[in-house]
Structure 1
Amino acid sequence: MTGSHVLALVVAHPDDDAYGLAGTVALHEHDPGFRFVLVHATDGGAGQIDPSYPPVNEPLGRIRRRETDAAWMAHGRPPDRHEWLDYDDGAVAAVPFGELEERIGGILAQERPDVVATFGPDGLTGHPDHIAVGAATDAAFGRLKADGGPGLQRLLHGGVCRSTWDRWNRSRIRHGLQPWIEGRVYDVHPIPDEQIGIEVNVGSVAHRVVAGLMEHRTQRHVVSPGVPPDVDEDVRWGRTVGSEMLAIAWPPRQPGGAVLSDVFEGLD
């Protein structure tokens, strides 16, 4: 399937998709030909549960799948296609690389998206599942790009530039949280400001991004750490998610090139 505004997002866990592109999806929801494809490698069943969440009597992965569906319903623009690859949480890096690339590539081959987004080489947080998914997506994109078919015009990596990372870290300290340590697994990793090739102003739809984030209730300790439920999270998160930053992995970006304002900007 082809189209002028087809976007594929390939991530590891539920709630990975709640950041980074949800605002872009909202901005483009009414574009002719817009199609949103979402791929999850795992349902996050081995994750921790927020201490304030009620006791559970079913597998966490099942709950997190429901939370993901609820999040996109709250956001208001669910994916047109959503695939779960059903790998075990925490074990995606152990999947044979060729298998992972083939499964992701099979979906991309069917959809031929114009823009593909995934994790960069550091997985954003150094999580092995993230790194494996990002590398396999990059490889699948490169292989399909070489066949000369339609789509696959741009490959993006989610990222947080250092200046924003520094600002967020100062905020964490003010809220009594431990600051992130660069390079530590599970902490957000920064990338140089000059590597950001796209910065999308999604302030007008930030409330929809927040609505989706807040549905990941088992992960409140990750989504909104240290903030009690009675605090006005919409206001705080609305500021945080008002901008989406992405590095352009393909085509190669010229040093000092202009920062684009939309993931589809400049494409055919």
Structure 2
Amino acid sequence: TCKTGYTNTGEAPNVVCTDTCTIKNGGCDPNAGCSHDNTTNAVECTCKTGYTNTGVAPAVICSDSCSLYNGGCDINAECSHRLEDFDVVCNCRVGFINVGTVNGVNCSDGCYVNNGGCGVNAVCSHDLTTMAIQCTCMTGYTNSGNGTTLVCTDSCKVNNGGCDSSATCSHDSVTFAVVCGCSIGFVRSGCDITAGCIDSCQVNNGGCDSNAACSHDASTNIVVCSCKNGYVNSGTDSVIKCTDACQVNNGGCDSNATCSHDASTNGVVCSCKNGFVNTGTGTKMK
């Protein structure tokens, strides 16, 4: 009778004892290694690297470890096998980053680690289909990088934030969204926030009196209202009200003169009343 660990491969009446492991892998699973107990020499079946025993003792059934609890990998990792020895390899899925070690893979949402590699002024999110990391500039910032590199720059520093060339670019104090405000001496040409800015004097005469000319201060560009020829300011320095000069102190004419206007220039014309003659000189009538 062959000893434990050996099998008779001879033909009766001959007995030829052969290592059981050399015969159909000792009855072990195809994905198991056959060996012998050091004490009893009984056959022992041990699953190969990359396989796990799913049988009930004494049966050994070797199943791909990746098919069992993801091979022990993190729930956000993919289980595969190393080509050279079929050992289990855990690799974080797209959109996740290993915050553990090579042998202890711990997959964290990539957006939670250094903002997913996005810039400080960018928002990290995931592609709904692939879960790949997506970097998007925050509100108030514009991508000034090239096609592959996202560089989020204050939108106001890029093409004036899309505002008109005669507008100032700033940000909303709450949302940081771009706010376009017309520069001094200009007003918005429409209701839309991105509407262009036009010269204030072109809209309602810049707020000046209908008998005033609208212009701009050479230094500050603020609106300046100046009464037209033949009119004088009867308001204040800040609120210009242009009144027919003849209605204010008789237009500066003598009390015995009538005040009228030149047909061409609308300048004040003083004419002595009947019975009076001009004894003044030049433009001074008396």
Give the TM-score taking structure 2 as reference length.
0.17
Higher strand share goes to which structure?
Answer: 2
Higher helix share goes to which structure?
Answer: 1
Structure whose alpha-carbon radius of gyration is higher: 2
Give the TM-score taking structure 1 as reference length.
0.17
Relative contact order (alpha carbons < 8 A, sep ≥ 6): 1 or 2 greater? 1
